[in-house]
Structures are given as structure tokens and as C-alpha cells.
Structure 1
Amino acid sequence: MDGQPDNTNTAEERASAKTILVHLDLKGAPPKVSYLAEVFPLFSSLGATGLLIEYEDTFPYYKELLPLRAAHAYSPQEIREILRLAQLNHLEVIPLVQTFGHMEFVLKNKEFTHLREVPMYPNSLNPHREESHQLIHAMIRQVMELHLGLHWLHIGSDEVYYLGEGEESKKYLSESGQTVEDLFMCHLKKVAAHVVSTYPGVKLIAWDDMLRGASAQKLTDSGVTQLVEPMIWDYTSNLEVDNRVALIEKYSQSGFQKIWLASAFKGATGASQQLTHIGHHLENHKRWLQVIQKIPQNTLQGVALTGWQRYDHFSVLCELLPVGIPSLAVCLQTLKNGAYTEQVATAVQDVLGMATLDTENYSSEASGSFPGSDVLILITQILFFLKNPTQEFLERNRFVMGWFSAFHRKRKMIHPIMVQQIEPEAVSLLSNWTLLLRDLQAALLKIFPDVTVDEWMEEHLMPYYLQLQQLVQDLNTALENQT
């Protein structure tokens, strides 16, 4: 067996031996440091060995990069405290800095709009401008200043939409005879070479999707295989195992020494998703475990469990971190143990303080004692027991639709007897909304900044509450108008 990979290890041994990262997507709903202090020990106890932190506009950029910094960004002191807490809980931190695609938080600012690949779209960077590279170097430098002693840095590079469609790219491709793939790899190599030469000893990770279509030979010839470790992401529940195994084999043949995998524990089933479907993410991890079983053990560097908070910089917030923690716990324990068994399920329930754990449905009886469990309980109660009944009442109640339509409300008309049919349910629903919204707001403010709480509630809950409130006001006004 000399020279042959050892494939005799069990799935449990092989999964648990690798780096397992929890992804914190901070471009939406960045948790307060006090909440991170509560959940980091939980992450570690469940099997995580590190954090993949995507700061985006919550990083405390300064000087020429100050426009990138959101008003609610962490301070340098808070970043240091996050790193201290991570170290205390044996979690290695890997920052993620976007360097090509998903640059909206940079390119939306007037100071940098001239660096867009396509002038109309702020998502992708123009790779031909020297100023673009200076911008990336500055971003990486400022992040590295606060993250001393790093072993890895993730340089993003996924979903570089519209690459090759800018005028400079069109000219370059036409004159050079190269492809968009070549253009992508050229930029990736420049960024990687700069980091490797500037920060010796730091290994680089990049998302792999822009590399998937390239042949093994083209990847080898590009030079990127000696500079970065690709992170293959697939968040689907029906992940094609053999397809991913073949992709890993191609990457290995092209010269990549190590491969990362990326699953998802939340934020991958709908841009406006509010509750996490654990079963979807559990199945995703089961498929990835099948992939791990089929590849040489020494190929896999680690797994990142992504938890997207926005699909991109401009999209709405999806499931908040506390809502996704039961899913994270299930997925971490499944990876650590190599399978999801009754024993694993019981262990997860014990750690989270949950009497039951429904992986197949959006639980309507959520409970728990984990940090932020009150947020999950309240959101579940509102969505199951308030939102749907309110929508049913406003849009399908026969008395509202038949005797107090928009036409009637505009003219302040109502038969007094119909008030007795409509008002009790309307007032009861409004009272319940008022109480639960108050409790939820208080719970959210313990975890997130004001701007996040305002956004989430305005987007997901306030439309129903305000419609109901307006209906009650219109009822009273119409009734007064009849007397």
C-alpha cells in the first residue's frame, strides 16, 4: 500500500480530523460582541474548530477606505475582543475579504464607482485598473493589521458576474485571444501572489465556482494551483456526490494540494427565509459526508458551514443567527460524528435544552435554553400563530371583505352591526401583535444593533401589524361617522 492514500478510516474519524469552520456572515445582522461571547463556547462544544468571518462593511476600515465602513461597524477594540474570545474557545479565525466579485459594499460608493467592471453594476471589480489592485491591497492590509498570526486568509472571488462585459475587458479579450476564465485566473493569481509575497506563511483560500469550468491543464498552466486552496461550495439538499468527487479529482490533478468544502447551515433556501429548515441542511451535510468518504483523506483541508445573512449586500435579511443555531448544532454534530443518529439527535437536544427537535418541518413548538433561544421562540410564535391568522383575517374574512373593503374604508362607511363582527377579532389580534413585538424587539436588541432590529422588523413583521392597526383605526373612524 506504499504511496497509496489510506481510505480505511471511518467517516467519523475522517470528518472529525479536519478543520471545521462556522461562517459568520456579518454583512447583515452583525451580532454584538456580548452575544458572540455566549455562542463561541457553544460552537466549540458542538465540534467547530474555527470561524470564517466575512466582515464586509462591518470591519473598521479607515483613511482612504473609510467610505466602506458602516455606521454600525465593529470598532478595532471590538475586533480584538472577538479574536480574544475565539482564541479562548480554541476557534481559529480566518477572515474573508472579497477581492473580485460581491464587491457591492465597496463599489456602491462614489469614491470607487469608476472601478466597476460594468459601470452600471456595483458587484464586480475591473481587473485591468492598477487602482483596483491598490484598493484590494489596502483592504487586505487593514484586515491583516488586526489579525496578527493568521494561518489562512480567504480572498473570496465567487460569482464574478458580468466579468468580461466591461469595455476594457472586451478589448483585452479581443486582442489577447484569451477567455473569461483566463481573465479570472489572471486576476486571482495577481491578488494571491501579492498576499503570499507580502505575508509569508499565510495560506490562501478562494471560492471555486469561477474555476469549475476550466480544464485541469488550464488550471495548472494558470499558476493559481500553487497559490490558493479552492473551497468548493454546494448548499443543495440533492448535491450530486459523484459530480463533486470528480471535481475534486480534477482539482487534485491540476496541482491543488488541499481542498476545502463548504456546506450551509442557514441562509441558502430563500432570500427572505425567516425560519431554518433543518432537514434541507442536514441532507446537504449527509451528501458532503459521502463525498468525504470517496476522496483521499489527505486531500481535504477542512469544511466551512456557511450561514448566509444576506444573499448579497442589497438583499433583505434572511434567517437570523439565533434562529439557525439548532440547524448549526445538528450539522456540526453530524460532521463530527460522521452521521446523524438518534444518539446525535439526543446529544444536540441536551446541549440546546430543547425537548424536541423537528428536522423535517418548521417547528411550531420551538423551545430551548441556548443563547438567543427566546428569539427563535418569539419568531416562531409570530409566524405560526399571528402572521398567518392576521393575513387570513385581513384578506379573506367575509365581513372585512364584504362590508369593510377599501372602498368602504376610504369613505368611512360601515353598517354598525358589522363592527361587532369585525372589531373583537381585530382588537384581539392587534393586542397579541403588540405584546409579541415588544418582547421580540427587546430580545433582538440584546443581540443586534438597532439598525438590524429596525430593518428585520420593518421588513418581516411591521407590514402586518400596521395593516391591522390601520383597520382598527378605520373601524373606529367609520363608526364615529355613522353616529
Structure 2
Amino acid sequence: MSGASPFKMRFVHLDLKGAPPKVSYLSEIFPLFHALGANGLLIEYEDTFPYEGPLKLLRAPHAYSPSEVKEILHLAAQNELEVIPLVQTFGHMEFVLKHEAFAHLREVALFPNTLNPHEAEALALVAAMVDQVMELHAGARWLHIGCDEVYYLGEGEASRRWLQQEENSKAKLCLSHMRAVASHVRARHPAATPLVWDDMLRDIPEAQLSASGLPQLVEPVLWDYGADLDVGGKALLMEKYRECGFTRLWAASAFKGATGPNQALPPIEHHVRNNVQWLQVAACGPADMLRGVVLTGWQRYDHFSVLCELLPVGVPSLAACLQCLLHGGFAEDVRTRVETLLGIPNLEMTGFTSEGAGAFPGSDILALVTQVGLHLCSSVDEVLQRDRYVTGWFSPYHRRRKLIHPVMIQHIRPRVLSLLARWSAQAQELETALHRVFHEDAVAEWLEENVQPSLGRLQALLQDLGQAAEPQPAPTPPPSTELWL
């Protein structure tokens, strides 16, 4: 039997640095989020926020306009979804530091991921970003300032010189920048409490964390997306944070985007297990410390990586995870409720099926992406690697030399043309469905990554067949060495 949830606040993470949905789709999906048990959104805008002034160059081509951000917030409020904006201010700064105008603020000159905390201009930059975001999120009770995965911290020239002083350390450097950013938030936006990802804090000694002053400024978000996370270890970590002076904590699980950078379909069982284990952490950790949980749904691993599972494709996983957290477990009655809410006959936990993909917004995308993910590549492999006529009479050796028995063309070409026509039609249907939810650049990227390589292999085979079928010029005889008198 399922029970009550220890997580009174359940926030869905919208990672907008890849395939940001159109506002029209958000208007359709927010009511479902609410019905599934969400009562908040953690919105990570990155380059989709409408920055102004010197920061305008950070905008992606399809960044939201100020009026669209306001509409998103209005839709969220209509559906009783509290919004926490997220602004990266330390690590994962690629979308800022990739620009030449800000490249001088990198910790390591070659890498655009981490900000140089020694530069006064660096703090001014993130303060300006924070202020612009908060201007459009007036009244927000929390602001997430990121600070996860601050890779290469301490490896820049300024940091190396600073670390030569005996009392300095990477931990001190990290805490100092976090404290500076959090202090700015507290001073300029006193109604908002800063949140930080906790990975940079985990290994810092308790005494140093306590003395830093950070526990009085921020609330850590403990994240772990594994299906086999260490429940006891997480409970001990919560206790450590309590001893350091942090009064409230958050948990972060995942419903997609955490099992592979190019994952197309989320493994639902993995994510449900992850959330079940977070329920166990909440049950055995310090009482009442966990304010809420964020269900992360990463769209890219970082600014430069490929797209992982698209939001509509992740809806069944999100539904299962939210209902699991809401009811304190994933008993059979909870599974049945998920199926009812999504309009699906059977929630497939351990595999993927496109049979009866559901009646929720974007379910047509799920059905088509499932078809592509499960069958496109394998069906092309079946022809190119296992068809006896292709492997026996039109191997790579034959293709390079344009050699083929004419009768074999009659065996190979019809099958390849039929397969190409079938998948081209599916790709067109999927493209149309994707355009209803996403902008052109995201649609083009997903299709180029996931569909075009396989279609291109079929097209290349047909092209080689055509060239091999053409009459080949007779080989030029070698010049004669005979002497004529």
C-alpha cells in the first residue's frame, strides 16, 4: 500500500537550454503537471531568458520574450505551480563564457564552463544576470544559483597564485564565491532565499562549512539520480549539513535526462526506483529538514552536448515519479492512477512500446519517437548487414568498385525503396508533430541526430546501386612496349 508523502513541495525541473517548448505547449502541459501532483516548477532558462543590455548577446535565436516569460508565469500560477528560477553563477557557464566578450572571465582560458572567482567583473556579471531574472520573477520565494560541477576550479593562473598562500584552498575559494553571490541575492532580493546544488559542498569539512557563513545564506539541494543511491549515506550527509548550520534542505531526483547524454527514451523503472529511494532517505534523515523535492528533467548534459529525452517523451516517467512521491510509493493502485491520468492502457516500466501511447499533450511525439528509437536503425541494419543479396552481391568491396550482377539490382532496390519510403513518411509525420511543440532549430537538431543518419545510409545504398547499374567504361589497356619497325 502507498502512504503519505514526506515531500510537501514537488517541483518539476524545466531545462530550457535545449529544445525549449513553445508557450502554447506549456499551456497544455501545466494542467497535467498539476493533476499529477506537482505544485512547483524549477525553470532553468540559460540562453532562453530575454537578457537585455550588454547581456543581450546571451539570448538564443528562439529565446522567450519578456511577454512570453510573463505568460509562462501566469500559466504556472493558474495551475498552482510555484516558480523558482535558476541562474547558473559559477559552473556550467558555457552559454556565457563561450562569447568573446566574456571569455576573459574564464577560470581556465581554454574552457568556457567555469567562471573566474577572482575577477570583480565576474561577480558583477552574475549579479546583473540575477537582477534581470529576478526583475521578471518578482515575488519568487527562492532563486536557484546553480554552483554545481565547478570543473577546473583552482586551475586558472589567478587561482594557482592564490592557492600558493598556505591558508588558502579550493574549498575556501568555492565557498567564497558562493557566499558572494548568495549575499548579493539576499541584499538585493531579500524575499528570495538562494538555493545551491550540493555537490561542491559534500566533501568540505564540517568546521569549514560552519565557519564560512554559507549555512545562514543558502539552502542546499542534494542531488542523486541513480537507481541504487546510498540511502544511508544520504541520511548521514543530511545530518552533516544540519550540524553545519543549514536549517532546510531540498532533494533532487530525476525523471529524464540522467541515464545517457543521447538517451531518446527514458527508462521509467530506473527513475521510479530513484524516487522511491529518495522517499527512503526522507524517512531516515533528520526530521522536517527536507523542504521539498525537485524532479530534474535534463535536456542537455551541458550547453554543448546533444539533446536527450524530449519533454513530451518524458511525460510517462514524470507521471510515475510524481505519483510515487505524492503517494509515498509505487504500489499497483498508483500505477493504475498514472495510466488513467495519461490515458494509456499499460505503463511499460522495463521497456518501451508505442501501442496506445496515451492521450496527453505530446503523446503523438512519444509514439513516433518510440518507433524511431526502437526500429529505425535496426531495420536499416537488417537490410545493410543481414540481407543476403546485399551482403553477398553488393558488399562494401562491390560498392567501391561499382560492381554488381544486374539481376541483383532487382532483388535489392525494391526493398530499399520501400523501407526508405516508409521511414521518410514517419519522419515527416514526426517533424510535423515536433513543430507543434518546438522551434525549427530543435526539430532540425533532433532529426539530424536521430533520423537522418539511418535514412542517409539507405539513400547512399540507392545511389551506389544506381552508379553500379550504369555501363562502366572499358578499362584502358596498358601502353604497348612492342617496337614497330
CA deviation digits over 1:16-54, x for unaligned, max 9?
5x1110000000000000000000000011110100000
CA deviation digits over 1:347-375, x for unaligned, max 9?
10011010111111233535111100000
Match of 2:267 in 1: 277
Match of 1:13 in 2: 4
Match of 1:437 in 2: 427
Structure 2, gaps ≥5 residues long: 474-485
Cα distance in structure 2, aligned partners of 1:433 and 1:363: 18
Match of 1:96 in 2: 86
Match of 1:423 in 2: 413
1:22 aligns to what SS in structure 2?
Answer: strand
Match of 2:481 in 1: none
Contact 1:412 1:481 in 2 (8 A): no
1:369 aligns with 2:359: yes
1:79 aligns with 2:69: yes
Superposition deviation, residue 11 in structure 1: 8.1
Match of 1:311 in 2: 301
Contact 1:44 1:90 in 2 (8 A): yes
Cα distance in structure 2, aligned partners of 1:210 and 1:392: 47
Contact 1:282 1:330 in 2 (8 A): yes
Match of 1:472 in 2: 462
Cα distance in structure 1, aligned partners of 2:189 and 2:358: 44
CA deviation digits over 1:167-202, x for unaligned, max 9?
101111112522111110011001101110111121
Match of 2:346 in 1: 356
Superposition deviation, residue 276 in structure 1: 0.8
1:42 aligns with 2:66: no
Match of 2:176 in 1: 186
Moved more, 95-104 or 291-300: 291-300
Cα distance in structure 1, aligned partners of 2:356 and 2:250: 33
Match of 1:409 in 2: 399
Cα distance in structure 2, aligned partners of 1:53 and 1:11: 30
Return the match for 2:227 from 230, 233, 237.
237
Cα distance in structure 1, aligned partners of 2:380 and 2:459: 11
1:273 aligns to what SS in structure 2?
Answer: coil
User: Which is higher, the Rg of structure 1 or of structure 2?
Assistant: 2
Cα distance in structure 2, aligned partners of 1:278 and 1:99: 32
Contact 1:366 1:380 in 2 (8 A): no
Q: Which runs of 4+ in 1 moved over 4 A?
A: none
Match of 2:192 in 1: 202
2:471 aligns to what SS in structure 1?
Answer: helix
- Give the AA of the match of 1:319: E
Contact 1:15 1:337 in 2 (8 A): no
Superposition deviation, residue 394 in structure 1: 1.9
CA deviation digits over 1:93-140, x for unaligned, max 9?
000000000000000000000000000110000000000011001100
Match of 2:278 in 1: 288
Cα distance in structure 2, aligned partners of 1:435 and 1:376: 16
Return the match for 2:314 from 324, 340, 359.
324
In the TM superposition, 1:131-280 aligns within 5 A as 131-280=121-270
- Give the AA of the match of 1:438: Q
- Give the AA of the match of 1:248: M
Cα distance in structure 2, aligned partners of 1:117 and 1:12: 48
Cα distance in structure 2, aligned partners of 1:12 and 1:148: 36
- Give the AA of the match of 1:178: N
1:339 aligns with 2:329: yes
CA deviation digits over 1:434-453, x for unaligned, max 9?
11000000000000000000
Cα distance in structure 2, aligned partners of 1:477 and 1:449: 38
Moved more, 171-180 or 313-322: 171-180
Cα distance in structure 2, aligned partners of 1:261 and 1:189: 21
1:399 aligns with 2:383: no
Q: 1:334 to 1:14 in 2, by over 3 A?
A: closer
Superposition deviation, residue 410 in structure 1: 3.5
- Give the AA of the match of 2:73: L
Moved more, 34-43 or 399-408: 399-408
CA deviation digits over 1:243-286, x for unaligned, max 9?
00000000011100100000000000000000110000011011
- Give the AA of the match of 1:83: L
Considering only aligned residues, what root-mean-square deviation do their CA atoms show, in Å? Answer: 1.5
Aligned residues: 473
Contact 2:235 2:286 in 1 (8 A): no
Return the TM-score normalized by structure 1.
0.95
Moved more, 169-178 or 124-133: 169-178
Cα distance in structure 1, aligned partners of 2:375 and 2:472: 34
Structure 1, gaps ≥5 residues long: 1-9
2:108 aligns to what SS in structure 1?
Answer: coil
Q: How much identity, in percent, do the aligned residues show?
A: 55
1:340 aligns to what SS in structure 2?
Answer: coil
- Give the AA of the match of 1:381: Q
1:311 aligns to what SS in structure 2?
Answer: coil
Return the TM-score normalized by structure 2.
0.95
1:301 aligns with 2:291: yes
